[in-house]
Amino acid sequence: MIKAVIFDFGEVLIGNGWEITYKQIAKRLKISEEKARDIMRPLERRWSKGKINEDYFWRSLSRKTNVKIDPRFTKDLFFLNMLKYTKDITESWKILAELKARRVRLTLLTNIIPPHIRALRERFARLKKLGFEFFICSSEVGFRKPDPKIYKIVLKKLNLLPTFFEPINIYELEKPQKQPKAAFGVLVTLSNPG
């Protein structure tokens, strides 16, 4: 019996907002997209855990590339790109409606930075209307997937902590190349709607 379904935003409910940002920053700094990704990903991971802020991100990027970055370029770049370039993945939203009709408990667990949270407010509201009980955003709790601690937060809020007699399977809709870790006896399985 399915007790709850935990969804992710990026590449599950919406497209990826990072790729266009990598391209824009690479072009602006006159570096390759690969170099931009290599520099930005560790910063993005720290930012998505709430360990750094946007100002620190830009200062670090400037220092690591040895390029002064115009604040007019950086102002609201992440927020605006998320608004402009992410489209709904229609099939996933249809699944949400079906799950709501079946009265399945729904929640969201996502690795996300604060500007993207602001940009996705309307989609958060739509998820609430579809019956999502709560949202766990990595930058607000200090952990990101696949850290077992973030799964424990979700399960605790769902009041579904596993017992020895009743293991819980988490089927997470995500990109297939990500390999989540088993969290304290919880089996994490990947599924891709596409």
pLDDT tens-digit map of 129-151 = 999 999 999 999 999 998 989 98
Helix axes 18-29, 33-47, angle to 10 degrees: 120
**What pLDDT sits at residue 3?**
79
Domain definitions of the chain by residue range = 4-15+86-191, 18-85
Q: Where are the alpha helices (DSSP H) in 66-120?
A: 71-74, 77-85, 90-101, 114-119
The contacts of residue 20 (CB under 8 Å, 6+ apart) are: 81, 85
Mean pLDDT for the stretch of residues 62-90: 94
**What pLDDT sits at residue 16?**
83
pLDDT digits (tens, 9 = 90+) for 43-73: 999 999 999 999 999 999 999 999 999 999 9
Q: Distance (Å, rounded) from C-alpha 43 to C-alpha 50?
A: 11
Q: Give 110's strand partners.
A: 137
Q: Distance (Å, rounded) from C-alpha 179 to C-alpha 165?
A: 25
Whether 174 has a pLDDT exceeding 60, the answer reads no
Range of weakest confidence among 34-43, 83-92, 110-119, 172-181: 172-181
On the 0-12 / 13-18 / 19+ scale of CB atoms within 10 A, 153 is middle
**What pLDDT sits at residue 163?**
57
Q: What is 4-15+86-191's CATH topology? A: Rossmann fold (3.40.50)
Provide the whole-model pTM: 0.83
Q: Distance (Å, rounded) from C-alpha 9 to C-alpha 135?
A: 10
Amino acid at 178: K
